[in-house]
Structure 1
Amino acid sequence: MNRFTPLALLFALPLAAFAASSDSDSTTAAAATESSSRMAMQTVATTQDPDQLKHGTIIGSVTFSGVYTRQFTQQQPVMGTANNGDKNLAGWAVTPEFNFTKHLGLQADFMNTYASDSYPGANKFMMAAGPRYTFNPYWKATPFVYGEAGEVRTTYGRNAGGTHPPTSWNPVVSAGIGFDKKISPNFALQVVPASWTGERFDYNGTWQNNFQARLGIVFNLRK
């Protein structure tokens, strides 16, 4: 039996060395995998917005704003209005918005404005919707652009002159640029310094150009 001891040792030593090498490789691979996982988690944490990590991701918003409109009309739409029918209107707007991605979303506009410089006056109620693109924050504000299409109802006061109907629904398109200034995690100040709205009168086929400005408060929706 002692004759086979050296032979057994010759076979046992390589096997032991191979087993030790395999254990070492497994330990090294596990350590490398754990290190890679930690690095990936750290990378995700550093690339995410700290505000989102603490308060949740913004999935949409609702904006309540005041609106000023300068209306340019080719024909005199209301008796007693000077400047060939040009009018000043003021009112309010409610704008809900939903985000599909960080940059692309869909918004709707519900706007009601009143004439302030004519008698018997006029009222415009607009419902429109369209895409909104939000840019990355720049200089402590978040700029965005939007485009919309919908309908606007124009109601003229009693004894209004002109060939238009007393109340009419007309197609409308709108586009604008603005920015949000963060006040708190859930609130922001919104300024839309430039917005164009084109309204087509169905009764005579002419277009009316409106230029608007808005100032409002944004309530962010998070998950």
Structure 2
Amino acid sequence: MTDTTTDPIADDTLPVDPAFRDASLPLDERVENLLGQMTLEEKAGLFFQTMITIGEGGTVAGPIPQFGIADSAEMIRDRHMSHFNVFGAASSAAEMAEWHNRIQEVAAGTRLGIPVTLSTDPRHSFSDNPGAAIMAGPFSQWPETLGLAAIGDEELVEKFADIARQEYTAVGIRVALHPQIDLATEPRWARQVATFGEDPDLTSRLGAAYIRGFQGAELGPTPSRR
């Protein structure tokens, strides 16, 4: 077992070598520089991806005990977390973008200034399906994935994914926790609506089109099976 007792604890007063911020240096060198300066607590914070909410008017949200969501600034500053799944929606895209900028300001004020990465469950449908998707809010609305499967048009699915990608990146979301590529073979499963159905060939074709549209240059999809 590795002895970690000599690792420094999180301390905002520890000196920082800013070489990892130098875009002219090789990527591997920047990564090694950053990792070598991180404390055990700062590294541990990177393992988490929990829910984060949007405060009223695009402010940094406080705790929401009924959903088990901690204070946003506390999670970033004190728990050293930087990966979050956005819970809920803002009243407008501009408000969501403002909120994103504010939480990045909180992250920039930490010792190493590691930026926050935001992800989301599907949020472009007409329905509100808690636990499987998020209400669309200011985003464009399309059929659920199962509806896109019923249409069966690869070009349309890729177009949808490209539009959704642009909307996500405009407000600061960089990771899509979809598409759902598991097959709908269990009728009691609540997430069937987020699949392309039970046909493996159709799921393969439409899933590939979905990923092509989302891949772009700015955002990464996360094909799911649950």
- What's the TM-score, normalizing by structure 1? 0.23
From the CA coordinates, give the structure whose radius of gyration is larger.
1
Query: Larger % of strand: which?
Result: 1
Select the structure with the greater relative contact order (CA < 8 A; seq sep ≥ 6): 1
Query: Larger % of helix: which?
Result: 2
